[in-house]
């Protein structure tokens, strides 16, 4: 050892080595000085603090022994897990526990709505179960002023360490109405803290004044929340039961938590409020369930299932937490008390509104059901699908479908799992409506006594009918997404000021759509519509995107117009077309520049002539295409034959052939000719910049304040944003024939079928069945408005055979006639019921 030490001493004392060591030390010192001179020490401290925090988090979650498990006491187990990380809990959960802010915003919107309509009449009470450090309560301040809005707030948690952090938080904030209760949620009772404490007269939003011991159990929570706590409760059934008993009759329950679930587990339920993104892949279910069990977090699907069983669903959505490249499933649930017994009357009332039957009380319904001999008219037998489903659920002690728990009863229940709805792949075809509402108003002459049934499409015409204040409007569409779009517009009328409304549907963009959806629109939407727009809305309305009107199937047409305009150098001319102040100026721009592009025969043959493009972009089915082809064939090649046999081509029916029967070339020519007869009259006779918002939108991708649909005017917003203005609207997601068949006989006065009859095959029975259903549902003298791609559609004879007098009120005769501002259809018909069907 002495020789080694001696050798080391000589090396150190060697002058050369000493200089080298000194130089290295000096260099390190200079580098350190240089770095520290140009480094913000506070940033370095933050980095060090964050590293220390997450190291402590990782140790506590994945490496530290859980020494509290041996006692079998849940509080000991929680303390074993949380004690060492209580001080860093909020800092380490911000990115992991996503959705808490959204859940709080949703329940805040619901509570504010219920206070506004008087369902919660006094300052509400809020209980946050498993509230931990109190982050939720402080975060709620962004939505509501917690110290003044709530009568009392109770944070209930079993972890003493987290409760201590919460107490310090509220002492710092100075919120006197917030109480931290370290107690098991299964035994917590509001009456122990709110009733009988002293002689102060406290009025609550439910029950009666809490003056004596007998009233202790009547105190309920107007708001109850659980944020990532249900998955940490081992015996969750009694905990959920206890929580359900805490909720006041008009209270709101909000929950956000992790979950994993297989589609098979929920596919047979009709009360979950939508299933977009709910299914988790097998590897996701296995991995996340195993991973979270390390931290005593249980993700089995039974927890969510039991919540949905115990509460009525108001809103439900499935999300993914994006963290370090992973996608962790979580859900947000907003519910209310089931109130099964009290729902009977509402079920009957809703059924009456849907079927246009006289209102029948629940007691009357019961007596008619048990006393068959008293049931004598078909009116008693008319039941909606929503009613049938509600009866089955009530008999099975299940919650009613989510549609019954909505604040607004505008949207009628439908089974979104059926293939007839799933075929559209959660996408609407039309982002805007291709029907001239001004012409409709002139032809239909709507009054306050009218009951209207119309196809939803994008909902623009439904809203234009609403401006006329009819008795009732039934909007019908088989595609759920089309009805989601109408629902969004209706909710916007009820919740938004005009500027926000215009930004959404005039500009088609909004810089903060998700916040508006969650905080303002959510109380007015059905669960399915809310879930849909939460998933697709932020991208559809994104300011960095093209906007709402470049979404849906119709976007392909708009994109093609924009692409061709740019490619062929007429994009600026299209913009000039939208700014022309006179028809003469517009005609010149159209004829010299734009027409060559939009009415190119090459475009018609290879793009618009494609059956796939006609369906995906323009919503033109094969049967309608056959009408266009037949009329063109008749107008060209068959004229000579018509003269020889002494018949007029105009008298022949359109649509008896098969699509594509004329051949590919002839079909392309037919589509091109149809486009010419559509667009040339529009360009020559209507001023796009001021009076034709239909084509303005196609060219600009948005509306202008000079030119837009009637529902976008400030005057219309004032009218339709009144509290009860749209209460006469019911939205059905079903086939037209199904809705007609379940209507009370002679309940309707107007049916607007748009071009839907064009979709039927002449060889099938569907058209006749629908016309017969329309006859039964219409009053004598009731009108049916039909538009068609054919000059003389084959089904007009079907209407006449089934008790209607039919009159063609507009047609492209002679060619180049402009029938209305859209001019998309060859003919328009009014079919008036003159004779009821003879029942066999």
Could you report the per-residue pLDDT of 91-137, keeping only the tens digit for each?
Answer: 666 778 889 999 999 999 999 999 999 998 889 999 999 998 899 99
Q: Are residues 288 and 378 in the same domain?
A: no
Spans of the chain, pLDDT less than 50:
62, 76, 196-217, 360-380, 612-617, 639-650, 659-660, 662-664, 840
Task: Tell me the CA distances in angstroms from 509 to 305, 512, 704, 774, one per residue in order.
Answer: 37, 9, 13, 39
Q: Does any domain span residue 406?
A: no
pLDDT value of residue 195: 63
pLDDT value of residue 801: 94
Residue 43's domain comprises: 13-63
Q: Does any domain span residue 783?
A: no
DSSP per residue, 664-692: HHHHHHHHHHHHHHHHHHHHHHS-HHHH-
Q: Are residues 661 and 682 in the same domain?
A: yes
DSSP per residue, 575-618: HHHTT--SHHHHHHHIIIIIHHHHT-HHHIIIIIT-HHHHHHHH
Q: Does any domain span residue 575?
A: yes
Q: Are residues 324 and 347 in the same domain?
A: no
Q: Does any domain span residue 666?
A: yes
pLDDT value of residue 769: 92
Q: Are residues 306 and 359 in the same domain?
A: no
Q: Are residues 42 and 160 in the same domain?
A: no
Q: Are residues 35 and 56 in the same domain?
A: yes
Could you report the per-residue pLDDT of 534-563, keeping only the tens digit for each?
Answer: 999 999 999 999 999 999 988 887 887 888
Q: Does any domain span residue 182?
A: yes
Q: Are residues 280 and 373 in the same domain?
A: no
Q: How many CB atoms lie within 10 A of CB 725?
A: 17
Read off the CATH number of the domain in which 258 is found.
3.40.50.150
pLDDT value of residue 201: 35
pLDDT value of residue 73: 55
Q: Does any domain span residue 81?
A: no
Q: Answer for the pair 180, 155: CB distance below 8 angstroms, yes or no.
A: yes
In whole angstroms, what is the distance from residue 52 CA to residue 48 CA? 6
Using CA atoms in the order 367, 370, 372, 373, what is the torsion angle rounded to 10 degrees? -60
Q: Are residues 56 and 119 in the same domain?
A: no
In whole angstroms, what is the distance from residue 485 CA to residue 459 CA? 7
Q: Does any domain span residue 484?
A: no
pLDDT value of residue 648: 42
Could you give phi then psi for residue 451, rounded to 5 degrees? -115, 115
Q: Does any domain span residue 372?
A: yes
Q: Are residues 330 and 377 in the same domain?
A: no
Q: Are residues 316 and 357 in the same domain?
A: no
pLDDT value of residue 561: 80
- Looking at 665, 700, 735, the residue that finishes a domain is 700
Helices (H), 83-159: 89-93, 100-117, 135-139, 146-149
Report how many domains make up the chain: 4
Q: Are residues 167 and 289 in the same domain?
A: yes
Q: Are residues 272 and 329 in the same domain?
A: yes
């Amino acid at each position: 050892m002495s020789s080694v030490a001696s050798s080391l001493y000589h090396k150190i004392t060697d002058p050369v080595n000493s200089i080298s060591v000194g130089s290295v030390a000096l260099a390190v010192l200079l580098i350190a000085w240089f770095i520290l001179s140009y480094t913000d020490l506070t940033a370095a401290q933050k980095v060090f603090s964050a590293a220390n925090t997450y190291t402590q988090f990782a140790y506590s979650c994945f490496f530290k022994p859980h020494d509290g498990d041996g006692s079998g006491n849940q509080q000991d187990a929680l303390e074993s897990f949380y004690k060492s990380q209580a001080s860093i809990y909020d800092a380490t959960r911000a990115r992991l526990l996503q959705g808490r802010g959204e859940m709080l915003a949703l329940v805040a919107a619901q509570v504010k709505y219920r206070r506004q309509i008087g369902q919660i009449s006094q300052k509400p009470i809020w209980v946050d179960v498993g509230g931990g450090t109190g982050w939720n309560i402080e975060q709620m301040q962004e939505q509501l002023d917690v110290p003044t809005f709530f009568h009392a707030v109770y944070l209930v948690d079993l972890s003493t360490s987290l409760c201590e952090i919460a107490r310090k938080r509220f002492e710092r904030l100075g919120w006197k109405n917030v109480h931290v209760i370290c107690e098991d949620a299964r035994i917590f009772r509001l009456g122990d803290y709110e009733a009988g404490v002293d002689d102060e007269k406290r009025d609550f939003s439910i029950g009666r004044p809490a003056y004596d011991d007998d009233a202790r159990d009547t105190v309920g929570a107007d708001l109850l929340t659980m944020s990532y706590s249900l998955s940490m409760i081992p015996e969750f059934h009694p905990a959920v039961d206890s929580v359900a008993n805490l909720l006041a009759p008009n209270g709101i329950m909000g929950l956000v938590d992790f979950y994993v679930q297989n589609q098979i587990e929920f596919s047979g339920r009709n009360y979950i409020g939508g299933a977009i993104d709910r299914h988790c892949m097998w590897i996701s279910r296995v991995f996340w369930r195993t991973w979270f069990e390390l931290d005593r977090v249980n993700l089995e699907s039974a927890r969510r299932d039991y919540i949905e069983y115990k509460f009525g669903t108001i809103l439900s959505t499935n999300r993914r937490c994006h963290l370090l490249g992973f996608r962790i499933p979580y859900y947000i649930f907003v519910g209310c008390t089931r109130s099964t017994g009290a729902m009977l009357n509402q079920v009957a009332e809703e059924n009456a509104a849907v079927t246009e039957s006289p209102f029948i009380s629940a007691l009357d319904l019961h007596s008619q059901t048990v006393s068959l001999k008293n049931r004598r008219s078909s009116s008693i037998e008319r039941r909606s699908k929503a009613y049938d489903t509600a009866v089955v659920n009530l008999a099975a002690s299940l919650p009613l479908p989510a549609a019954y728990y909505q604040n607004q009863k505008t949207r009628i229940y439908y089974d979104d799992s059926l293939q007839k709805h799933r075929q559209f792949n959660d996408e609407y075809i039309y982002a805007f409506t291709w029907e001239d509402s001004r012409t409709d108003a002139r032809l239909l002459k709507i009054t306050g006594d009218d009951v209207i049934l119309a196809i939803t499409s994008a909902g623009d015409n439904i809203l234009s009918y609403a401006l006329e204040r009819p008795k009732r409007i039934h909007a019908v569409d088989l595609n759920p997404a089309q009805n989601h779009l109408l629902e969004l517009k209706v909710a916007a009328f009820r919740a938004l000021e005009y500027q926000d409304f215009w930004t959404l549907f005039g500009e088609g963009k909004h810089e903060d759509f998700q916040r508006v959806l969650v905080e303002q629109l959510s109380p007015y939407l059905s669960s399915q519509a809310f879930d849909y727009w939460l998933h697709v809305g932020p991208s559809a309305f994104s300011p960095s995107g093209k906007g709402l009107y470049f979404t849906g199937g119709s976007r392909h047409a708009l994109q093609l117009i924009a692409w061709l305009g740019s490619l062929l150098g007429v994009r600026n001319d299209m913009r000039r077309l939208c700014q022309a102040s006179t028809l003469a100026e517009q005609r010149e721009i159209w004829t010299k520049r734009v027409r060559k592009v939009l009415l190119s025969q090459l475009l018609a043959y290879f793009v618009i002539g494609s059956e796939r493009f006609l369906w995906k972009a323009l919503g033109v089915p094969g049967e309608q295409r056959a009408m266009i082809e037949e009329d063109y064939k008749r107008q060209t090649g068959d004229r000579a034959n018509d003269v020889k046999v002494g018949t007029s081509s105009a008298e022949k029916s359109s649509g008896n052939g098969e699509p594509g029967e004329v051949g590919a070339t002839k079909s392309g020519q037919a589509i091109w000719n149809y486009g010419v007869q559509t667009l040339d009259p529009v360009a020559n006779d209507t001023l796009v910049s001021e009076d034709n918002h239909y084509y303005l939108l196609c060219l600009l991708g948005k509306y202008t304040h000079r030119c837009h649909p009637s529902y976008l005017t400030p005057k219309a917003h004032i009218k339709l944003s009144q509290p009860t203005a749209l209460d006469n609207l019911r939205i059905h997601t079903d086939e037209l024939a199904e809705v007609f068949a379940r209507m009370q006989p002679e309940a309707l006065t107007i049916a607007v079928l748009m071009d839907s009859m064009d979709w039927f095959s002449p060889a099938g029975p569907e058209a006749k069945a629908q016309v017969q259903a329309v006859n039964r549902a219409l009053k004598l003298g009731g009108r049916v408005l039909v538009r068609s791609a054919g000059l003389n559609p084959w089904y007009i004879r079907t209407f006449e055979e089934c008790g209607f007098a039919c009159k063609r009120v507009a047609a492209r005769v002679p060619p180049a006639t402009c029938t209305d501002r859209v001019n998309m259809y060859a003919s328009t018909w009014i079919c008036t019921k003159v004779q009821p069907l003879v029942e066999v």
